[in-house]
Amino acid sequence: MIRSIAAVIAGLVFIFATHIGTDEVLHAWGVFPPEGQRMSDPWLNALALGYRSVFSVLGCALTAWLAPVRPMAHALVLGGIGTVLASLGAYVAIPLDLGPMWYPIALAASALPCAWAGGMLVRR
């Protein structure tokens, strides 16, 4: 049980670190607008969705790889956690109008497919 929990936490930490780290680098380089300003360019939102999806797949693959048994189930548990967290994020972000409404919704909708893809990477 401890190894299962550790596997999910490891994937979650990887995903948080890579998402936040890449966001910060892109803000620092001036690719993204300064923190707190609206990011209205759909291409920048698509870029963020793209790298976040890749990192989510890799984080779920890490979880599956570390899982003591049933790697796909572990990856999907992490995807479920991601869906809940992204849904809460959408609930908070949409009224703040920090960018297009589709972006936080797409993050929530993509969490489980990314988890499945990460689990499939380890199965092969």
Confidence of residue 123 (pLDDT cuts 50, 70, 90): confident
Helices 42-66, 71-96: inter-axial angle, 10-degree rounding: 150
Domain around 22: 2-123
Nearest CA to 4 out of 72, 105, 106 is that of 72
Nearest 10 degrees: CA dihedral of 56, 61, 64, 65?
-140
The two three-digit tokens of residue 3, written as one number: 């190894």
pLDDT for the residue 18: 98
The reported pLDDT for the residue numbered 46 is 97
Q: Is the dihedral of CA 67, 12, 26, 105 positive or negative?
A: positive
What is the structure's pLDDT at 122? 94
pLDDT of residue 118: 97
Number of domains in the chain: 1
Give the model confidence (pLDDT) of 31-86 as tens digits. 999 988 899 899 999 999 999 999 999 999 999 999 999 999 999 999 999 999 99
Task: Pick the closest to residue 99 from 33, 22, 15 (CA basis).
Answer: 33
pLDDT surpassing 90 at residue 97: no
